[in-house]
Amino acid sequence: MLIKRRRGWEIPESEATPESLFRDRRRIVKAFAAGPILLAGAKALGALDFAAMAQETDPSAKLYPAAPNMKYKVKLPLTPEKDVTTYNNFYEYGSHKQISSAAQQLQIRPWTVKIDGMIEKPMTVGIDDLLKAMPLEERTYRHRCVEAWSMKVPWTGFPLKSLVDYAKPLGSAKYLEMKTFVDVKMAPGQRSFWYPWPYTEGLTIEEATNELAFMVIGLYGKPVPKQNGAPLRLAVPWKYGFKSVKSIVSFTFTDKRPKTFWEALQASEYGFWANINPEVSHPRWSQAQETDLGTQEKIPTVLFNGYGEYVADLYKDLKNEKLWA
Ligand SMILES: Nc1nc2c(c(=O)[nH]1)N[C@H]1C(S)=C(S)[C@@H](COP(=O)(O)O)O[C@H]1N2
Ligand SMILES: [Mo]
């Protein structure tokens, strides 16, 4: 069987979405089940080393390793690299976890990033030029998906604050909106027209300039594999994983709260803030525990994913907002 059976504890985001989405999921499963050629391909892919592939083809490979920043570390052990790179959410490549081979279609060069909106001077910058201007480091963070699984990953990247400073926002800017590419030729999942492409996420400027907000360009000391959001993705570890938008092509400074992908799809279940809180259940499941991807152990979920000392203050005057989902 090609599509791994869902593990008992898994709750896919797609289960919480309209019926049309669920029908599409079944269609995908059927299509896979029908293909012996696909099956052989998938077996071969199981043996590939994605990180090594990224290393060979990615011009940013020469930037590694970046110095570890020991301020941001986790309780060991880390999640095995293989789990991090073969169990993914990236709806541009399908609404299931085994998208790592499909994601190899993503073309990561040339890659330009647009920075616009309420800033001194809107600009477009090539990813390699942008990286030259950013202070790279390695940080180890926890990552907790709203579906109640989690992992611990050494990311390479730079503080989002460095990009905000580089952009020189005007005082009127209140939010930063971030978008993934749109290109059905390299992301077949985007043919599913009922999703509100492009994948869009947003933070307040205060959140974006918080020291924890991190732009990821690598993991495990190598360029980030395509399935994990090459060449540039966000990591905001105190929020549910869907806030950490992948393969970003634009940063827009605005005074309007961005309408995010999941909020546009299902506002009753996924909001703008999405801060992690074990006491606030998703409408259809508890958030009290999470399954650690590496060990498969159930562990208690912690408020702000354990990062409260860095971020709790951001929310103290926002009690009327739906901060937790
Ligand atoms: N563009 C895009 N970004 C995305 C997603 C997606 O489907 N598309 N999924 C999100 C979700 S739900 C999670 S949990 C994380 C998963 O990141 P990982 O595959 O590196 O673990 O990416 C987030 N960023
Ligand atoms: Mo997620």
Q: Per the domain annotation, does 16 fall within a domain?
A: no
Ligand at shortest distance from the CA of 249: 1
Give the pTM: 0.88
Mean pLDDT of the chain: 89
Gap from CA of 142 to ligand 2 centroid (Å): 13
Arithmetic mean of pLDDT, 109-115: 98
- The reply to whether 23 falls in a domain is no
Is the shortest distance between the CB of 244 and ligand 1 below 6 Å? yes
The rounded Å distance from CA 129 to ligand 2 centre is 30
Q: How many domains does the chain have?
A: 1
Q: Does residue 222 belong to any structural domain of this protein? A: yes
Determine, yes or no, domain membership for 212.
Answer: yes
Stretch 252-264: mean pLDDT? 98
Q: Is the pLDDT of residue 15 over 70?
A: no
Ligand 2 centre to CA of 302 (Å) is 16
Atom of ligand 1 nearest to the CA of 198: 1
Atom 23 in ligand 1: residue holding the nearest Cα: 242
- Closest C-alpha to ligand 1, atom 10: 242
Residue 323 pLDDT more than 70? yes
Q: Six-digit token pair at 118? A: 């309420």
Looking at the DSSP assignment, which residues form a beta bridge with residue 300? 289
* Cβ of 180 less than 6 Å from ligand 1: yes
Residue 295 has pLDDT above 90, yes or no: yes
Residue with more model confidence, 281 or 46: 281
Task: Assess if residue 115 is contained within a domain.
Answer: yes
The burial of 305, by beta-carbon neighbours within 10 Å (0-12 exposed, 13-18 middle, 19 or more buried), is given as buried
Q: Looking at per-residue confidence, does 199 or 325 come out higher? A: 199
Give the domain extent around 248.
Answer: 64-312
Phi and psi (nearest 5°) for 139? -135, 145
- pLDDT tens-digit profile of 146-191? 999 999 999 999 999 999 999 999 999 999 999 999 999 999 999 9
The more confidently predicted of residues 244 and 15 is 244
Tell me if 181 CB under 6 Å of ligand 1.
Answer: no
126-153: per-residue pLDDT in tens?
A: 999 999 999 999 999 999 999 999 999 9
Query: How many A from CA of 125 to the centre of ligand 1?
Result: 24
Which whole number is the average pLDDT over 259-279? 97
Q: Residue 154: which CATH number?
A: 3.90.420.10
- In order of 133, 159, 161, 168, 209, the CA distances from 165 in angstroms are 11, 10, 6, 5, 9
Segment 96-107 mean pLDDT: 97
Distance between CA 201 and CA 93 in Å, rounded?
18
Q: In Å, what is the CA distance from 64 to each residue of 152, 293, 306?
A: 20, 26, 28
The closest-lying atom of ligand 1 relative to the alpha carbon of residue 87 is 19
Q: What is the pLDDT of residues 17-35, one digit of tens each?
A: 543 444 444 444 444 444 4
Tell me whether residue 291 is in a domain. Answer: yes
Q: What is the pLDDT of residue 325?
A: 84
Query: Is position 14 within any domain?
Result: no
Asked whether residue 41 is assigned to any structural domain, the reply reads no
Give the distance (Å) from ligand 2 centre to CA of residue 301.
15
Among protein residues, the one whose CA lies closest to atom 1 of ligand 1: 246
Distance 13 CA to ligand 2 centre (A): 7
